[in-house]
Amino acid sequence: MIFMPLMEVKNLEKTYHDEDVATAVLKGISFSINEGEFVAIMGPSGSGKSTLLHILGFLDTPTGGRYFYEEKLAGKYSEEEIANVRNKKLGFVFQSFNLLPRTTVLENVKLPLLYSDIDEELWNDMARSAIESVGLTHRLDFEPSQLSGGEKQRVAIARALVNNPQVIFADEPTGNLDSKSGEIVIEIIQKLHKEKGHTIILITHETYTAEYAERIIRLHDGMVESDERVATRRVGKNFLK
């Protein structure tokens, strides 16, 4: 049986132009990711990690090379198709949480459903289920200002989960957290992969965090420096049972 990759980039390039200055951020990157993989993308600041994530998540477009999602060239997707993929198949978790400040946890998690074709009568149950999966049912009616940093990130994960996406993109999800909160967050992400089968693309500069993945792609100066399976994968301590 032949398995086609879920995502594949071939000689991917991205160059930003500012007046007469051209800055090459990605310089001919090639790799593929299969459905159900947990992949960490590592590299120092400026190596192109977040730019790559934005292209994989249809938030930006390459200036060279090709990107295929589900075997279809990204450039062939219409605006409507891209919006549909982002809403139904992709979930995003960012370092800065991006929660609405004067809105409860429940309402924040329900946000992606506003743009879906799912019956509104199901929204509360779907949001509650996602919140339960990150261990925050006791915070349903809290606002972000009443939460710790780790709790805010767990709400962001629940929001990314609410549509049961195919892929979860996590861009430095532990970057603003203390070590204990960061460990809880990355273990939740690992649990989602192991128990729910989500494809995880984790952007991080922390070796400790990357070792929760099955595979680590290291970028340096806009190019792939290495692409290796994790020999001994770090296993969580199950903070959330």
Strand ranges (E), 64-145: 64-69, 72-73, 90-94
Q: How many residues does the chain have?
A: 241
Q: Note the pLDDT tens digit of each residue in 12-59.
A: 999 998 888 999 999 999 999 999 999 999 998 889 999 999 999 999
- Structure tokens of 75? 């450039």
Q: Do residues 38 and 215 make contact, with C-beta atoms less than 8 angstroms apart?
A: yes
Q: Which two tokens stand for residue 101?
A: 């400040």
Task: Evaluate the CA torsion angle 25, 35, 213, 230 in order and state its sign.
Answer: negative
pLDDT band at 232 (very low <50, low <70, confident <90, very high): low
Provide the sign of the torsion angle of the four alpha carbons 66, 72, 77, 82, taken in this order.
negative
Question: Contact at 8 Å (CB) between 192 and 36?
Answer: no
Q: Is 219 helix (H, G, I), strand (E, B) or coil?
A: strand
Using the predicted structure, report yes or no on whether residue 1 has a pLDDT greater than 50. no
pTM score, whole prediction: 0.89
Average pLDDT value over all residues in the chain: 90
Rounded distance, CA 173 to CA 37, Å? 18
**Which residues have a Cβ under 8 Å from the Cβ of 150 and sit 6 or more positions away?**
177, 178, 180, 181, 182, 184, 185
Q: Which of 45-54, 109-118, 133-142, 229-238 has the lowest mean pLDDT?
A: 229-238
Q: Is the pLDDT of residue 81 over 50?
A: yes
Question: Where does residue 101 rank: exposed (0-12), middle (13-18), buried (19+ CB within 10 A)?
Answer: exposed
